[in-house]
Amino acid sequence: MLEIKNLHANVGDKEILKGLTLTIETGKVHAIMGPNGSGKSTLSYVLAGREGYTVTAGSITYNGEDLLALKTEERAAKRIFLAMQYPVEIPGVTTMNFLKTALNAQRRARGESEYDAISILKLVRAKARVLQVNEEMLKRALNVGFSGGEKKRLEILQMSLFEPKLAVLDETDSGLDIDALKLVAEGVNALRSPERSMLVITHYQRLLDYIVPDRIHVLANGRMVAEGGKELAHELEATGYGDLGKVPA
C-alpha cells in the first residue's frame, strides 16, 4: 500500500534521507528503528508533507497514487495519519472543537456528509473512554497543560477517530513512563486491523515489546541498512546500532 523508492530528502540544505527504499504491506505493522539523526523523524514528516522537508529524488506511491503530489491536508483526508513525537499546544482552540473540525474537514474532502455536534460528541466520548481521555481534557485547549502521557493518548484518540489506512507513529514512547506506555500501546493494538498499516518509528526496542511489529527495518544515515522479523529488535538492543549505516570509505 505504500512504496518508497530511492527517496532523497533535504531539510534546508542538508541531505537527510539518502536513497531510502521501503515497502509497507496492507494490514501489517512495520517498525523503523535507528539511532538519533538517522532520518526517522524526517521520514515521518516527508510522509505527512511538512513544509521545509524537500524531496530531491525518488518516489512515494500510496495505494497507486503519487503521494508527493498531495498537500498535507489531502494526505490526511486520504487516511494517512501521523502521531507526532511532540504534539503541538494550541491555546484558544478547545480539544473537542479541534477534533470535530478535523474529522469534518476530512469527511468533506472525501465527499462524505459532515457530522453534527451531537453525533461527533458521542463518537469521541465512546473512543475517549477506552483511552482514558476524560471529558475535562476534551474541554481544555488543545494539548495545553497536558502531561506527556495525555498528549500521546490524545494522538491515539485521533488515530482511532480518523481511522487511517496508514498510521505513522513517531517516537510514540518518548516521554512516557511504563504505565502510560502500556496504555498507549493497548490503544494502538486495539486499532490493528487487516485494512490498516502502521509504521512505528522508535529509537528503543521497549515500545516494540508492547506493539509487536510484523517487520523491522533499520534506518541509519538516511537509508535502510537491515531488515528482519520482530526478533531483530532484541538483537539490536544487545549489539547496539554499532557500525550499521557507516558510509563505506
Contacting positions for another protein (CB under 8 A) = 48-52, 71-73, 75-77, 82, 84, 87-88, 90-93, 98, 101-103, 105-106, 109, 158, 162
Residue 92 CB, nearest distance to another protein (Å)?
3
Calculate the alpha carbon distances from 124 to 87, 109, 133, 137, 158 in Å.
19, 20, 10, 12, 9
Q: Which of 98, 115 has the CB closer to another protein?
A: 98
Residue whose CB is less far from another protein, 11 or 93: 93
Q: Which residues, at least 6 apart from 49, have a Cβ–Cβ distance to it below 8 Å?
A: 67, 68, 70, 71, 72, 75
Between 64 and 92, name the residue whose CB sits nearer to another protein: 92
DSSP state string for 124-145 = HHHHHHHTT--HHHHHSEETTT
Which residue is listed with cell 491536508?
Answer: 73
Residues 26, 52: Cα–Cα separation, whole Å:
29
Rounded CA separation 23/60 (Å)? 10
- Please say which residue, 8 or 50, places its beta carbon nearer to another protein: 50
Closest contact distance (angstroms) between CB of 13 and another protein is 18
Please check whether residue 75 is in contact with residue 49, taking contact to mean a CB–CB distance below 8 angstroms.
Answer: yes
Query: Smallest gap, in angstroms, from Cβ of residue 205 to another protein?
Result: 27
- Nearer of residues 63 and 221 to another protein, judged by Cβ: 63
Phi then psi for 176, rounded to 5 degrees?
A: -110, 140
Question: What is the phi/psi pair of residue 186, to 5°?
Answer: -60, -45
Closest C-alpha to 24, from 159, 214, 211: 214
Considering the complex, what minimum distance in angstroms separates the CB of residue 98 from another protein?
8
The least distance separating another protein from the CB of residue 231, rounded to whole angstroms, comes to 33
Q: Residue 77 Cβ, how far from another protein at the closest point, in Å?
A: 5
Q: Which is nearer to another protein, 3 or 163 (CB)?
A: 163
- Within 13 A of 194's CA, how many CA atoms are on the CB side? 0
